[in-house]
Structure 1
């Protein structure tokens, strides 16, 4: 299976977790997904009242410089860990 196929499968499986992971896990998944699909964050930081948007932007920005392949691999590993601990529906 190619890295992209594994990444796509992991992204689909994350949507099927039995329960919602915690905020830290969600932000990590978001950041790795964005880095693995888009690359470095080049967008402007959201306004001061957009707390959720800022948290997501900050998480993604921490991955700056990471290759798309590395981000995809780390996403797969994170997803597998969550699936192992939470389980799928």
Structure 2
């Protein structure tokens, strides 16, 4: 599958140096006066390409590609600033904070767990479009489903999925995998408590999660 900027900012996908060299050539980053029959390594001007994205090597470009929504920048365009380490740390800190405050009185009792699990799929979840015609639900859906899986199966020992049956990136499967993995070490009882808290959080942020 060809690497395109439509896939940027959507998490990790397999990317090789050849993929990025091909992308660079297609965007016009070719060394002048080099025979087109020469290997990609000889033809692709990777220094100028990487400079446009504020990085110096493939490893840093991949990290930026996985975490940021990037756009094609042609030769002569305006380069991006280098990634900010402090900004990355701040973003990680934000992710670690509970996204919404909930009234403790709205958190269901664990005794309601079995009843509520039957209602998750039937809620009017919003549909989020992704590249290649793929769709997803809001993150809270996957968090709730992950709690159910943790209760039933324990810690995630599966490999992270990559491609969907239609050939595109498996956004739905990867989000499910991440949510389940985040619960590693939780006992069934703790996972039920997390489910109830997540249920309250999801409904406290109904505008993000549910259709009107």
Same fold (TM over 0.5): yes
Q: Aligned partners of 1:74 and 1:8: how far apart in 2?
A: 13
Q: Which residue of 2 aligns with 1:40?
A: 155
Displacement after TM superposition at 1:83 (Å): 5.4
Q: Aligned partners of 1:82 and 1:71: how far apart in 2?
A: 16
Q: Which residue of 2 aligns with 1:63?
A: 183
Displacement after TM superposition at 1:51 (Å): 2.2
Spell out structure 1 runs of 4+ moving beyond 6 A: none
Q: Aligned partners of 2:173 and 2:187: how far apart in 1?
A: 23
Task: Indicate the structure (1 or 2) with the bigger Cα radius of gyration.
Answer: 2
Q: Which residue of 2 aligns with 1:77?
A: 197
* Deviation string, structure 1 residues 25-76 (Cα, Å, up to 9, x no partner): 1111121111121110011111253222111111110111111110012212
Identify if the C-alpha distance between structure 1 residues 82 and 51 changes in structure 2 by more than 3 Å, giving closer, same or farther: closer
For this pair of structures, how many residues does the alignment match?
Answer: 84
If the length of structure 1 is used for normalisation, what is the TM-score? 0.71
In the alignment, structure 1 segments of 5+ residues that lack a partner are none
Identify if the C-alpha distance between structure 1 residues 44 and 16 changes in structure 2 by more than 3 Å, giving closer, same or farther: closer
If the length of structure 2 is used for normalisation, what is the TM-score? 0.34
Q: Determine if the alignment matches structure 1 residue 28 to structure 2 residue 143.
A: yes
Identify if the C-alpha distance between structure 1 residues 81 and 16 changes in structure 2 by more than 3 Å, giving closer, same or farther: farther
Task: Flag the structure with more relative contact order, 1 or 2, with Cα contacts below 8 A and sequence separation at least 6.
Answer: 1
Structure with greater proportional helix content: 1
Q: Which residue of 2 aligns with 1:54?
A: 174
